[in-house]
Structure 1
Amino acid sequence: MGKYESPNYKVLTKDGNFEVREYSDFYVIEYDNDFDLEINQGFGTLFNYISSDNEDRMKISMTVPVIEEVTGDKKKMAFVVPAQFGEDIPKPNSSHLSVKKFDQGIFATITYSGFTNNTKEEKMKSNLENWLVEKGYTGQSNYMLAQYNPPFVPPMFRKNEIIIRIKKKGDHYE
């Protein structure tokens, strides 16, 4: 994990495996395909993009996390764009990829290890949702799954997170 760039954030609150974070703006390359609702070709399409399948034919460093988001009846997948590009990001050749800005904001997360699956993700979403209610926060986005490791990393060393944009509680986060 340490060798891959990830978005900048500041931890505002830590409570066990829960955190409230303030993220800075960053950009992602997002895979969105109405004919691939389960994003079966998402990772490969994104990997081709960073391997030089872009208008500049430029190789782009891998970053973490890989972010998945369920929107309605389909999923989207995104890679974080390395900060060195700023807003000058190579345009994707694939019509299923687009550059999106991930706006700064406050997010709540729950971190867990092992391989992830739908059952585990739903349990973590529920745990995070209960924690948010207990702390008086309100979700402002869809839940997102963030995965930090390549497939060959053993389960006990894997890091996954469920992330959601949240609304302030009063004037501050506690």
Structure 2
Amino acid sequence: MSSSHLFVIALSIATLGVAAPALAAEEPAHTLVLRDGAIEIRDYAPQITASVEVDGSMARAGNSGFRPLANYIFGGNTARNGAGSDEIAMTTPVTQTRSQEIAMTSPVTQSMQGGDVWRVAFIMPEEWGMDTLPIPDDPRVQISEIPARRMAVIRFSGGASDSRFETKFDELVAYLDAEGHAQIGDPVYARYDPPWIPTPFRRNEVMVEIAPS
């Protein structure tokens, strides 16, 4: 990894205190189904993610998970043709999910020692496929395919502490219950902005999969 890439990662961690994209560019393809104030329902196309599982608090896990994923996309990988490595464009958002069970290897969970385990994930750009993405050098990095799904999303600006994410998740669940939408997935916490964006203007979201209506 180049010194400039290391600087970006260090700045992201030091300034934000959590995982955040160094360069915000492509967002996952989706169709807006409904907008009601800060809440949206979106239909997402299939996605491929690179993810790692790390334990600890939300902020600590975000920091720990960001570096191996950044290393992967910045060239810590082996190209499918075996010739060197590939660089992958940074996308947005960086996501974090808490799981309810203990995982076997690398992405999200409730931990053995009472701490939480989180899956921190980068969404791969659309031009890459499961058969073309380079192979991670770090065995903790897992490449996974996520099928198309309908997501309910609540957007908020400012700081993105675990307590704020939990409060917004509660607001989203109350809205879904009132509107008769069935939640079928765990909350996904998403951060969109690089660390040099002033805190009041940062975009954050809580996302949860719901049943198609």
Aligned length: 167
CA RMSD of aligned residues (A): 1.6
Residue 51 of structure 2: which of 17, 21, 30 is its match?
Answer: 30
TM-score by length of 1: 0.91
Higher helix share: 2
Task: Map Cα deviations across residues 97-140 of structure 1 (whole Å, 9 max, x no partner).
Answer: 11111210111000000110011011100000000001101111
Kept in 1, the 8 Å contact 2:24–2:194? The answer is no
Matched residues, percent identical? 27
- Taking structure 1 as reference, are residues 144 and 62 closer, same or farther at Cα in structure 2, changes over 3 Å only? same
Give the counterpart of 1:62 among 83, 90, 94: 90
Question: 1:80 maps to which residue?
Answer: 123
TM-score by length of 2: 0.75
Whole-Å separation in 2 of the counterparts to 1:101 and 1:140: 18
2:97 partner SS: strand
Of the three residues 8, 16, 19, the one matched with 2:40 is 19
For residue 95 of structure 1, what is the aligned residue in structure 2? 139
Alpha-carbon distance in structure 1 between the residues aligned to 2:162 and 2:96: 12
Instruction: Tell me the CA shift for residue 156 of structure 1.
Output: 2.1
1:3 CA displacement? 5.5
3-state SS, counterpart of residue 127 of structure 2: helix
Structure 2: distance between partners of 1:168 and 1:3 = 29
Amino acid paired to 1:165? E
Counterpart Cα distance in 1 of 2:190 and 2:65 = 14
Q: Which residue of the partner structure matches residue 172 of structure 1?
A: none
State the partner residue of 1:71.
99
CA distance in 1, matches of 2:212, 2:28: 21
State the partner residue of 1:124. Answer: 168
For residues 152 and 3 of structure 1, do their structure 2 counterparts lie closer, same or farther at Cα, with a shift above 3 Å needed? closer
Deviation of residue 168 (structure 1)? 2.8
